[in-house]
């Protein structure tokens, strides 16, 4: 089991990062929020989970051990594989996911592509007692917009987008909804930039 990696960031893609450790480049699947914290050429440390399949070995990386634990917990539910577990953490930050499970909030859980009403109900039934009861995560307010804008723009630059395009995409997303968190702004900005290409 590879539980963590520490090394230099060689490249950052839309859904993965390559981290060099001891001369070996490891491709690590990660959420947009995790990728947004990384910079090419800088050293990073990621909590990781290795998923072994008959025909592949896939590393999944997380900014902290809490996200990694939730990733593993999600896969204990029938029908939830590593890709869907990662997609869940891409859409819902750990605190928001824990709160949705603890409160039985189907509406929040069905925001994840690939999770319907029945899947959300199964998640709640099987995981509610395992995540504990947490207060709902506070949503970002307008006061955080400047920080969110800077972080997302920097992440897009790290992914190779031109500065002007990146800023315009982020501004358009924030103009539509200024209360979004960093990961959601990044996701929507990437979708906007993808349509322009």
117-168: pLDDT as tens digits: 999 999 999 998 888 633 344 443 444 577 788 888 888 777 778 888 888 8
pLDDT value, residue 58 = 94
Same domain, 126 and 159: no
**Contacts with 119 (C-beta within 8 Å, 6 or more apart), sequence order:** 79, 80, 109, 110
Low-confidence ranges of the chain (pLDDT < 50): 133-143
Domain harbouring 51, CATH code: 2.40.50.140
Task: Report the predicted TM-score, pTM, of the whole model to 2 decimal places.
Answer: 0.64
Task: State which residues form the domain around 96.
Answer: 65-131
CA–CA distance, 156 with 151 (Å, rounded to integer)? 9
- How far is Cα of residue 166 from the mean position of the Cα atoms in its chain? 19
Same domain, 148 and 171: yes
Same domain, 76 and 104: yes
Packed helices 82-91 and 94-103: angle between N→C axes, nearest 10 degrees? 100
Domain harbouring 115, CATH code: 1.10.150.20
pLDDT value, residue 132 = 61
Beta bridge partners of 59: 28, 50
Same domain, 69 and 58: no
Of 60, 38, 64, 41, the residue nearest 155 (C-alpha): 38
**Residues in the chain, how many?**
197
- Examine residue 162 and state whether it is found in any structural domain, yes or no: yes
pLDDT value, residue 42 = 94
Of 62, 78, 95, the residue at which a domain comes to its end is 62
Interstrand relation of 24-29 and 56-62 (parallel, antiparallel or unpaired): parallel
**How many domains is the chain partitioned into structurally?**
3
């Amino acid at each position: 089991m590879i539980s963590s990696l520490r090394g230099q960031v060689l490249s950052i893609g839309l859904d993965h990062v390559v981290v060099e450790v001891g001369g070996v480049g490891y491709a690590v699947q990660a959420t947009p929020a995790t990728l947004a914290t990384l910079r090419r050429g800088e050293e990073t440390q990621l909590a990781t989970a290795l998923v072994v399949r008959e025909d592949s070995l896939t590393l999944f990386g997380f900014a902290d051990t809490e996200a990694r634990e939730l990733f593993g917990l999600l896969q204990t539910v029938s029908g939830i594989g590593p890709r869907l577990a990662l997609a869940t953490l891409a859409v819902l930050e750990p605190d928001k996911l824990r709160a949705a499970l603890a409160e039985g909030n189907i509406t929040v859980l069905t925001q994840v592509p690939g999770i319907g009403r029945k899947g959300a109900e199964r998640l709640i039934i099987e995981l509610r007692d395992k995540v504990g009861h947490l207060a709902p995560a506070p949503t970002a307010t307008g006061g955080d917009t400047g920080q969110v804008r800077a972080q997302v723009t920097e992440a897009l630059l790290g992914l190779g987008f031109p500065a002007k395009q990146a800023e315009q995409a982020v501004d358009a997303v924030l103009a539509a909804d200024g209360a979004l968190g960093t990961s959601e702004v990044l996701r929507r900005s990437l979708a906007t930039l993808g349509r322009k290409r």
